[in-house]
């Protein structure tokens, strides 16, 4: 019974974290959000993202880096 309770608590925590991440992603402006989604949810490389978005590789890397920093700030307790 205690094991089931611990699992339920872990599941609730995971759902809460997922909701918080989704909310933080929505706060990002599209130029930062889109490359992050393509990289982490679609598994594209930075080169593939640059080609798909018709943007220089350095721009994509910068947008991802800035977006991840913004997410980190948003998720900070």
pTM: 0.80
DSSP letter, residue 9: H
Q: Where are the domains of the chain?
A: 2-75
What is the percentage of the chain residues whose pLDDT exceeds 70?
Answer: 97
> What is the rounded distance in angstroms from the CA atom of residue 68 to the CA atom of residue 28?
10
71, 25 contact by CB (below 8 A): yes
Q: pLDDT-derived band of residue 1, with 50, 70 and 90 as boundaries?
A: low
Whole-Å CA distances, 66 to 8, 23, 28, 59: 35, 17, 10, 10
Q: What is the pLDDT of residues 43-53, one digit of tens each?
A: 999 999 999 99
Find out whether 19 and 1 touch, Cβ atoms under 8 Å.
no
Region of residue 54 (phi > 0: left; psi between -120 and 50: alpha; otherwise: beta): left
CATH architecture observed for domain 2-75: Orthogonal Bundle (1.10)
pLDDT at residue 43 in the model: 98
């Amino acid at each position: 019974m205690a094991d089931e309770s611990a699992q339920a608590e872990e599941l609730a925590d995971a759902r809460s974290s997922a909701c918080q991440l989704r909310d933080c992603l929505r706060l990002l402006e599209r130029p930062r959000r889109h490359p992050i989604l393509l990289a982490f949810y679609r598994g594209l490389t930075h080169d593939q993202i640059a080609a798909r978005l018709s943007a220089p590789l350095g721009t994509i890397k910068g947008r991802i880096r800035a977006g991840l920093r913004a997410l980190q700030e948003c998720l900070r307790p």
